[in-house]
Amino acid sequence: MFILDTDHISLFQRNHPHVSAHILATPPLELATTVVTVEEQLRGRLERVRRARSDAEVVRAYQNLLATVLYFRTIQIMGFDQHAQTIFRSLRAQRVRIGTQDLRIAAIALSQGTILVTRNQQDFTALPSLPTVDWSLPDT
């Protein structure tokens, strides 16, 4: 099972060639994302709606919001349960230096025993027990 980090979801939505090829070649039941990624994307889309001033910006912002909602209907979403929270708290107690949202995504991936698909190798290598891969690179 592969969990797509927010960066890879965004790259896929923008038709990144390597990311798109990997995602399309992977059986849908082997792909997921996290509720944290859903939160991050929806926050961004809602902020665009809030800041839109012209008619064209409002329309575009709502189109992007709708496209995002529809996209998340097509992929498994891993929740943040008590097991993930326990892992998150343990990582925090170990003083792992990763941002809160990334640490929550890592906790979900660890709790599910999955591979995290991310470009953020620098931060996530702080967690040697978390397997990661970067599909944005050629030949990965």
The domain total for the chain is: 1
| pLDDT tens, position by position, 71-118 | 999 999 999 999 999 999 999 999 998 999 999 999 999 999 999 999
| pLDDT tens, position by position, 1-39 | 999 999 999 999 999 999 999 999 999 999 999 999 999
In a domain, 103, yes or no: no
| pLDDT tens, position by position, 38-58 | 999 999 999 999 999 999 999
In a domain, 92, yes or no: no
In a domain, 109, yes or no: no
In a domain, 140, yes or no: no
CB 71 within 8 A of CB 13: yes
CATH code (residue 64) = 3.40.50.1010
Find the DSSP H helices in the chain.
6-13, 17-25, 35-51, 55-72, 82-93, 100-112, 121-124
Q: Domain limits at 67?
A: 2-79+115-133
In a domain, 121, yes or no: yes
Helix (H, G, I), strand (E, B) or coil at 132: strand
In a domain, 89, yes or no: no
In a domain, 58, yes or no: yes
